[in-house]
Amino acid sequence: MLHELWDEGDEGKTFCLAGPRGDGARALLSEHARLVWTVEAASHFDAMTLYYQRMGWNAYTTEHPEWDNRTYAEHGWE
C-alpha cells in the first residue's frame, strides 16, 4: 500500500496511508503541509522501517509484532 510523508515545517511531520485510509490523518494537516515523500509497503512494520530509515533514526521496533508484521492483504485492507 502507498504511504505518504507530509511536512508541516515547525509543526512536524505526518506519515500516513495514502487514499481513503489516510483521510483522517490528512484532515488534521495545516494548510502549509506539503507532500514530500511516498513509499509502497506491504505491512505497517515495513512502512515504519522505511520511514525510520528515511528519517535517519534507529531501527524501528514494535510492541505488537503479531499485528504489525501481518501484511495489509492479511488484514483485508487491499
**DSSP letter at 10?**
G
Residue with cell 490528512: 26
CA distance 23 to 64: 24
Query: What's the pLDDT at 12?
Result: 95
pLDDT of residue 74: 96
- As averages over each run of 10 residues, the pLDDT of the chain (78 residues) reads 96 96 97 97 98 97 95 91
| pTM of the predicted structure, to 2 decimals | 0.92
The rounded Cα 66 to chain-centroid distance in angstroms is 18
Q: Give SS3 for 25.
A: helix
Alpha helical stretches, state H, the chain: 23-27, 44-55, 65-68
Tell me which H or E stretch contains 39: strand 34-40
Which pLDDT score, from 0 to 100, does residue 77 have?
87
